[in-house]
Structure 1
Amino acid sequence: MQCWACSELATRLNEERVLKMAMTIPLNINIKEPRWDQSTFVGRAKHFFTVTDPRNILLPNEQLEHARQIVHNYRQGVVDPGLTEDELWRAKYVYDSAFHPDTGEKMILIGRMSAQVPMNMTITGCMMTFYRTTPAVVFWQWINQSFNAIVNYTNRSGDAPITISQLGTAYVSATTGAVATALGLNALTKHVSPLIGRFVPFVAVAAANCINIPLMRQRELKYGIPVTDENGNRLGESASAARQAIAQVVISRILMAAPGMAIPPFIMNTLEKKAFLKRFPWMSAPIQVGLVGFCLVFATPLCCALFPQKSSMSVTRLEPELQAKLRETSLGCERVYFNKGL
C-alpha cells in the first residue's frame, strides 16, 4: 500500500514537471522591442501608458533587480521555471522603467518617465498658482528647469557621456531663458485679462524646452548618435539623426505640457470667482495640481507616442561620409534606425 502511494506521488510529480516544461515560453519573443506594434499610434500609446505608469517609481530595488535578471536570462536563452509570457513582458517593462536602453545603467529616480506625472503635476501646478510675484516666478521656473535638466540627462539618446561643463551650460541657459521669458511676459500682461496672465508659465516652459533639450544633448549634435540597420547592427554615428531625434523630443515635450497648462487656467479662472475659493483660497494650489495631474496622466503617454521611440530616417539624409561608408559596407540599406530619446 505504501509503495503504491509512493509510486502515485512520483507519477504526479513527474506529470507536474512535464506540464511545467510544456508551459515554458518560447525563446523567440523579441523583448528588445515593445510588446505592441510601434508602427501605429495606438500601439505606441499602449507602450507609453505602461512606461509612464507612476506606480513603477514605488517598486523596490529588489523587484527591479529581479526584473533585470529575468530579462538578462531570457536574452541569454535561459527561462526561469514557470515563467509566463505575461510575466516576461511585465519584467521587461519594469526593467525599461528603471534602466537606460543604451547604457543599461539604473536611471535617476526622478528622471525616469514613470516619475513624469507626479513630478510635473506638482511643479506645473505650483508654477500656475504662484505666477503673480517675481520671487515666485523665479523660484518655480528654477525648480522646473532643474527637474527638466535631470530628465533630459537621464533620458538622453545614445551612450555618449555629457561633461559637467556642458551640463552646467544647458542648465544655466534654460533656467535664464525660462525666467526671462516669464518675467517679460508678466510685465506685458499686467494690464490685460487675468486669464491671459495664466498662460505665461506655458510660454516660458515652451521657450525653455527649445533651449534646454538641444543644449543638454549638444554632444549628440556634435558627435552624432548611434544608428543601426533594421536588425540592430550598429552602422556608425550620425549628427543628422541627432537633429531629427532632438526636434521630435522638443515637439513632444511642448505638446505634453500644453493640456495641463492650457485647460486648468479656464477652470481656475471660473472657480476663483466662486464663493468656495474666496472662502478657502489655500485650496487653489491643491485643486490646480490635481487638474494638471489629471491632464498629464493622458498627455504624457499620448505625446510620447507621437513619434516612434525607434525613429528612422533615409540613408540619403545622413552625412555624406556616412553615406559613402554604408554604400561600401551595407549594400541595400535604405533606412537607418536610432533611439530618439524621451
Structure 2
Amino acid sequence: MEPNVRFWIAERQSFIQRFLQWTELLDPTNLVVSVEKIEKSRQLLLTNEDASIRDLEDPRIKEAWKRSLSTVHPDSSKLIPVPFRPAALLPFTAPMIFFSMLSVKSLKSLILPQISFYTYTTAFNIVNGNASYNRHLYESLLLGTGVIASSSFFGLFPRLLQLRLNNALLKRALPIIFLTHISAVNVVAVRSLEPIRGIEVMDKEGHVMGYSRKAGTKAVRDTASSRVVLYGTSAFIPEVFSHYFVRTQFFRQHPWSLWTFKLACTVLVMGLMVPVSFSIFPQIERIQCSELEKEIQSATEDTELFYHRGV
C-alpha cells in the first residue's frame, strides 16, 4: 500500500491532531528537501510497514513521514512539483491576495494580480486533486485554461462595480465576497471530472473496491468548503483590522504604514488559516458503504470505505 495512504487510514486524528500535523507538513524546509532524501525516506517507510508517526523514539521514522506526506501525492506516488506542494501555498498566494484586495482607481493595476492568483490556485487544485481516475493531459490543460480565464474575469467584476458604487461598505465587501465564492467555484470547476468519472474507494487494507462518483462529489465539495474558510477569512480579517488602523494616530502620522500593516496582517492570518483549512476534513476521508453505488456495495462486506479527498 502507498505509505501516505496507509498513514492517513491508520491515524484516526481529531481536528486538533490534524492541525498540529499540518503545521509540520507546511514547514517551508519541505520545499527544498532533495529528491535523494525523499527517496531514502520513502524506502525507509516501505521497509517498515508498521512504522507510525508517533514512534518518537526513532526520529528517522518521524522525519521520513514528514518528508513523504509533504512531497508525495497519495494517489500517484509521484513527487509533487515544488511550487505546488502544500507548503508553497502561503508564500505564493498571500502576496497575491494582498495586491488583489488593494483599493485602486485603475483596473489595469489589478489585472496581473488577479490572473496570477487564479493561475496559481487553478494549477494547485489540479496538482493536489484526486489523481485516481483516468484523464488526459489535454483535458487538464483545456479545463485549466478555461477556469483561469473565467475566474480572472469574475474576479475583476466587483472592481467594475466599485467604480459605480458610493457605498463604502459595499466597496469593501464585494471583493471579499467574490474572492471567496470564486475560489470555491474554482475547485469545483477544475476538479469537475471527479464527480463525473468517479474516484477510487478502498478498504482499510488499500484494496480498491471501485470508482465512485458519489465519493468524487463529496471530495470536491469538502475541498471547496475548506477554500471558502481559507480565502474568505484571509481576506476579511485584514480588511477589518485595516478599517480600525486608519483611525489611529499612528496612521495619521505615517499614512504609508497601511500597506505594511495590511500585508503583515494578511500573511499572519493566512499563515494560521492554511493549516486550519487543511485540517477541517481528513485527507483520506471515510465514507459509509451504504452511501456509495450499488456495484461497490456488492463488491465488499465492509461497512466503511476510504477515498483520497485531496488538498
TM range (shorter): 0.7 to 0.9
Pick from 51, 76, 82: which aligns with 1:103?
A: 76
Q: Residues 36 and 239 (structure 1 numbering): CA distance in 2 closer, same or farther, change over 3 Å? A: closer
Deviation, structure 1 residue 263: 0.7
Q: Take 1:35 and 1:311, find their aligned partners in 2: how far apart are those partners?
A: 8
Q: Take 1:62 and 1:231, find their aligned partners in 2: how far apart are those partners?
A: 28
Gaps of at least 5 residues in structure 1 are 1-28
Find the counterpart in structure 1 of residue 114 from structure 2.
141
TM-score of the superposed pair, with normalisation by structure 2: 0.85
Find the counterpart in structure 1 of residue 86 from structure 2.
113
Find the counterpart in structure 1 of residue 141 from structure 2.
167
The root-mean-square deviation of aligned C-alpha atoms, in Å, is: 2.9
What does 1:219-234 align with in structure 2 at a 5 Å threshold?
Answer: 219-234=193-208
Query: Alignment length, in residue pairs?
Result: 304
- Letter of the 2:131 partner, please give it: G
Pick from 290, 307, 310: which aligns with 1:338?
A: 307
- Letter of the 1:293 partner, please give it: V
Does 2:226 correspond to 1:252? yes
Same amino acid, percent of matched pairs: 18
Structure with bigger gyration radius: 1
Gaps of at least 5 residues in structure 2 are none
Deviation, structure 1 residue 174: 4.5
CA contact (8 A) 1:137 1:183 kept: no
Pick from 123, 138, 158: which aligns with 2:96?
A: 123
CA contact (8 A) 1:134 1:183 kept: no
What's the CA shift string for 1:182-211, capped at 9, x where partnerless?
Answer: 424641574344454233332222232233
Q: Take 1:172 and 1:286, find their aligned partners in 2: how far apart are those partners?
A: 34
TM-score of the superposed pair, with normalisation by structure 1: 0.78
Q: Residues 311 and 128 (structure 1 numbering): CA distance in 2 closer, same or farther, change over 3 Å? A: same
Which deviates further from its counterpart, 152-161 or 244-253? 152-161
CA contact (8 A) 1:37 1:43 kept: no
Deviation, structure 1 residue 84: 4.9
What does 1:179-218 align with in structure 2 at a 5 Å threshold?
Answer: 179-184=153-158, 186-188=160-162, 190-218=164-192
| SS at 1:288 equivalent | helix
Find the counterpart in structure 2 of residue 91 from structure 1.
64
What does 1:319-334 align with in structure 2 at a 5 Å threshold?
Answer: 319-323=293-297, 325-326=298-299, 330=300, 332-334=301-303
| SS at 2:98 equivalent | helix
Pick from 26, 36, 39: which aligns with 1:52?
A: 26
Which deviates further from its counterpart, 152-161 or 29-38? 29-38
Deviation, structure 1 residue 85: 2.4
Q: Take 2:33 and 2:255, find their aligned partners in 1: how far apart are those partners?
A: 36
Q: Take 2:235 and 2:226, find their aligned partners in 1: how far apart are those partners?
A: 14
What's the CA shift string for 1:215-246, capped at 9, x where partnerless?
Answer: 22223222111101122221111111000000
Does 2:269 correspond to 1:295? yes
Find the counterpart in structure 2 of residue 151 from structure 1.
124
- Letter of the 1:340 partner, please give it: R
| SS at 1:124 equivalent | helix
Find the counterpart in structure 2 of residue 74 from structure 1.
48
- Letter of the 1:333 partner, please give it: D
- Letter of the 1:264 partner, please give it: P
Find the counterpart in structure 2 of residue 21 from structure 1.
none
